[in-house]
Amino acid sequence: MAKTRNTARDDTHFGEKTVPLADKQGLVDDVFHSVARRYDLMNDLMSGGLHRAWKDALVSAVHPPKNERDFALLDLAGGTGDVAFRVVEAGGAGTRVTVCDINEEMLSVGAERAINQGLDDRVCFEQGNAEELSYPDRSFDCATIAFGIRNVPRIDRALSEAYRVLKHGGRFLCLEFCSVDVPGLEALYELYSFQVIPRIGQAVTGDREAYRYLVESIRKFPKPKAFARMMEQAGFRRVSFTPMTGGVVALHSGWKL
């Protein structure tokens, strides 16, 4: 019998290349392994500090209780814990965050930061794949993913898993870049993304290709309306998105009702 060949459905994008779906995760892991130690500095340099304002908007939407009430947040693809630290600082004594990321190197940078900031009793770092979470159903009050979903090969699985582990009444929030298609601004954005960012990446992390992948992956990510439909298909209700900074980034929201 003839061997089954990969169909287009088994392929996905990795930057500008088309790669077998099964290979994408390993390639993504190499990118974050390579940049982990300089990741936070690069975020500031690449976004001119804007990522802080975008994350502040995410934290406001998470709206952790200020009092002692228990509040469990799962921060998916949480990397070095930037969102997690902001949420525990905004919340009261009952706010706890589990940072789940597939990459050990990113997690260990975050775990060191937690110890240095005295937050290791409220933020824990656990290795896991967003497509296949080890947490029981209905474990968390809120789930977030910031600049992580476009790196996950099977987005539909990650959305279904986020839905599964949320409690009823829980909220899912996703911060992600969008491709800018405003004439004029688009050309400037392309120039910055493809000429400036990889050069900064080369200078700071020594890895120009990693940053080429990161900007190319933004172009391949579904438009906000298409992503909103994917969230609805995963079961989320009252799905909405808020564009920020001229549509460079969107904050997506959905509820498990």
Binding site for ligand SAM (CB under 6 A): 25, 28, 32, 77-79, 82-83, 101-103, 106, 129-131, 146-148, 151-152
Question: Minimum distance from CB of 2 to ligand SAM (Å)?
Answer: 32
Per the CB < 8 A criterion, the answer to whether 170 and 253 are in contact is no
Question: In terms of C-beta density within 10 A (0-12 exposed, 13-18 middle, 19 or more buried), how is residue 175 classed?
Answer: buried
DSSP state of 193: I
Q: Which is nearer to ligand SAM, 173 or 231 (CB)?
A: 173
Q: Which is nearer to ligand SAM, 152 or 228 (CB)?
A: 152
Distance CA 227, CA 198 (A): 27
Share of the chain residues as helix, strand and coil, in percent rounded to the nearest 5:
50, 25, 25
Query: What φ, ψ does residue 186 adopt, rounded to 5°?
Result: -60, -45
Q: Count CB-CB contacts under 10 A for residue 155.
A: 21
Q: Which is nearer to ligand SAM, 25 or 245 (CB)?
A: 25
Distance CA 92, CA 95 (A): 6
Q: Which is nearer to ligand SAM, 184 or 243 (CB)?
A: 243
Question: Minimum distance from CB of 156 to ligand SAM (Å)?
Answer: 13
Question: Minimum distance from CB of 103 to ligand SAM (Å)?
Answer: 3
Question: Minimum distance from CB of 130 to ligand SAM (Å)?
Answer: 4
Question: Minimum distance from CB of 183 to ligand SAM (Å)?
Answer: 28
Query: What φ, ψ does residue 149 adopt, rounded to 5°?
Result: -65, -30
Structure tokens, 77: 């693809």
Residue nearest to ligand SAM (CB): 79
Question: Minimum distance from CB of 45 to ligand SAM (Å)?
Answer: 14
Q: Which is nearer to ligand SAM, 1 or 64 (CB)?
A: 64
Q: Which is nearer to ligand SAM, 15 or 79 (CB)?
A: 79
